[in-house]
Amino acid sequence: MQKIKCIISYDGTDFHGFARQRNLRTVQGEVERVMQLLWGCAVETVGASRTDSGVHARCQALHFVLPHGRIPVTQLPYILRTWLPQDIVLVSAIPVENRFHARHDALWKQYRYTIDTAPMPDIFTRRFALHERRPLDLEAMRMAAAQLEGEHDFTTFCAARAQQESKVRTVHGISISGGDNHQLYIDVAGNAFLHNMVRIIVGTLLQVGLGSRAPGTMTDILARRDRRAAGFTAPAHGLCLSHIAYASGPG
C-alpha cells in the first residue's frame, strides 16, 4: 500500500463542485469512479479544497492510497489521461509519506478571479472570465483590497449558510493586475477560505472599482460581521484555484 499525492486541473463548468455528491457529477466523484474501474476496488481520495459548482482549478491537490503497485506511480498521469473525462487532467503523481494529508498539510492557497474588460466579451474565455466592460478604478480597488489583508473575522464575506464555526481567516495578500487581451486578475492568497469568501470579496471590489462603494469602507464592512454589508457574490465561472503551497514545495 502506497500513499500518493496528485495534482489535478479541471474545467469546473459542468461539475457540481469538487466534493462527491450522490447522483450529481462532481470532480472527486469522477476521479474515484475512474480509479475504481482501473483498480477494480473502491479508492477514496481526499482533496485540499472543496471548490464550488462552476469553479475551476489549475492546481488542486489530493491524496489517496494506491491499492497495489502494479502500475508505476510516474505513469499514472499518462494512464489516467485516457480514462478521465476531457475536463479533468491529472497533472502529476508522486509517492508521499503516510502522514501526508492534502488538506491539513496545506500552508496556504491562492485563488485567481479573471475579468474580461474588453468592450465585447471574448467568446473563447467566456467559461473562465466574467465580462465587465465598464471602466474600473484599479487604484481604488487596490486601496480597498489592502484593508482585507491580515487576520480578520470574515463573517461579512461568506455565505450566510457557511457551516464553519469560526469565521476567522488570514488573507496573506490580494493583488490586482492587468494581463494581455483585456484580462484583469484578482489574486487572493490565504491560509483558508470560507464558503463563497473570494467571490464576495471580488464582487465588493468590483463595486468599489465602478464607484458605487467607497474604497475606505472595507474596515467598517468587516467589523459589521453581516453578509448584507458586503457586495454581490461574483459568478463562479471566473474563479480558479491557482496554487496550493506545502512545506515540501508547491502543490
Residues classed as catalytic: 52
Task: For CA atoms 27, 33, 37, 41, give the dihedral sign.
Answer: positive
Cβ-in-10-Å burial (0-12, 13-18, 19+) of 212 comes to exposed
What single DSSP character describes residue 154?
-
d(CA 89, CA 11): 9
Residue at 83: amino acid letter:
W
d(CA 130, CA 116): 6
Q: Of 100, 91, 128, 148, nearest to 239 (Cα)? A: 128
> In the numeric block, which cell numbers belong to residue 21?
455528491
d(CA 238, CA 228): 22
Element (H, E) at 62: strand 56-66
